[in-house]
């Protein structure tokens, strides 16, 4: 089913997985993760494209498993940056043949050391969305509550978001964040300039303090002072830190849903236990509000 159609009827619960970098045994493990995620009746599961487009075949294979083996809605990422039109056509056709209706259009991060030629054919997600129009996918796009790290201002980022919608995006999924006020600001400003598509917040529980620096470098996400203080106090106690990370994510989710978010997208990092930890904690909220 098309994600834009689902969003027109209800809130969504969804998860994100990524293609393994290794052998068939690792792919078997990701299939087991997907099977475990079925327990929570997600409205869709997204699968990333891999750095530099290197795992595009694995993306198709995993999306196929989600759609046709697990019988769930698959959202396949396509990254335009490293791709040629022929690459995009190959992946889009393969997805279409497998009955996959949903695609998330991304430019993708430019690897260190690559010049502008890296994004020769699809320098922006809008270019990819326009190219994919003849395939009639339900197109989604990314957005950034704290602004894209390469963008000069929040307003410029919002203008890019508007262009994505005009190019065919029918829903947005945010980059991860830990301060909900940035999400509310994004939604308010997006509506103010005429963006009407649903904006699904993306949540990634922070259960390992070692990931803070990586998260900061990757997407610039700010850690609220109260949460940061808890992390500093309990960083040397992994079991306690894990509980704090999950509980903070639950706090974010309940607050977001209470204030009208159209769904929740969980970055589970190929770990079904993360989904279980979150979904078991939101209990009745999960059943009554989704």
Q: pLDDT for 162-211, tens place per residue?
A: 999 999 999 999 999 999 999 999 999 999 999 999 999 999 999 988 88
Whose structure tokens read 């850690």? 223
Instruction: Write a three-state SS string for 139-184.
Output: EEEEECCCCCCCCCCHHHHHHHHHHHHHCCEEEEEECCCCCHHHHH
Which tens digit of pLDDT belongs to each residue from 109-161? 665 555 566 678 999 999 999 999 999 999 999 999 998 877 788 899 999 99
Total number of domains constituting the chain: 1
What local confidence, expressed as pLDDT, does residue 54 receive? 58
Single pTM value for the model = 0.94
Q: Active site residue: 5, 16, 101, 146, which one?
A: 16
Which tens digit of pLDDT belongs to each residue from 211-220? 877 777 777 7
Residues 267-275 have a mean pLDDT of 95
Domain that holds residue 57: 3-289
Predicted confidence band of residue 52 (pLDDT cuts 50, 70, 90): low
Instruction: Give catalytic status of residue 152 as yes or no.
Output: no
CATH number, residue 234: 3.20.20.220
Three-state DSSP at 286 gives helix
């Amino acid at each position: 089913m098309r994600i834009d159609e689902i969003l027109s009827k209800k809130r969504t619960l969804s998860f994100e997985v990524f293609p393994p970098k290794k052998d068939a045994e690792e792919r078997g493990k990701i299939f087991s993760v997907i099977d475990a995620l079925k327990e929570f009746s997600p409205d869709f599961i997204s699968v990333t494209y891999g750095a530099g487009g290197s795992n595009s075949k694995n993306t198709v294979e995993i999306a196929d498993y989600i759609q046709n083996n697990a019988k769930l809605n698959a959202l396949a990422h396509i990254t335009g940056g490293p791709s040629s039109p022929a690459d995009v056509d190959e992946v889009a056709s393969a997805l279409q043949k497998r009955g996959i209706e949903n695609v998330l259009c991304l430019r993708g991060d430019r690897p260190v050391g690559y010049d502008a030629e890296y994004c020769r054919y699809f320098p922006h997600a809008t270019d990819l969305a326009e190219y994919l129009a003849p395939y009639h996918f339900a197109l989604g796009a990314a957005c950034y509550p704290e602004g894209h790290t390469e963008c000069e201002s929040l307003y410029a980022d919002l203008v890019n978001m508007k262009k994505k919608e005009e190019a065919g995006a029918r829903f947005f999924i945010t980059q991860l964040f830990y301060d909900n006020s940035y999400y509310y600001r994004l939604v308010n400003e997006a509506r103010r300039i005429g963006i009407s598509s649903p904006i699904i917040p993306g949540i990634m529980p922070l259960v390992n303090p070692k990931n803070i620096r990586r998260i900061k470098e990757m997407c610039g996400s700010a850690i609220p002072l109260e949460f940061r203080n808890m992390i500093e106090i309990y960083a040397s106690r992994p079991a306690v830190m894990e509980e704090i990370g999950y509980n903070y994510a639950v706090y974010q989710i309940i607050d977001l849903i209470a204030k009208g978010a159209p769904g929740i997208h969980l970055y589970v990092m190929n770990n079904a236990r993360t989904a279980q930890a979150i979904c078991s904690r939101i209990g009745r909220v999960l059943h009554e509000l989704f």
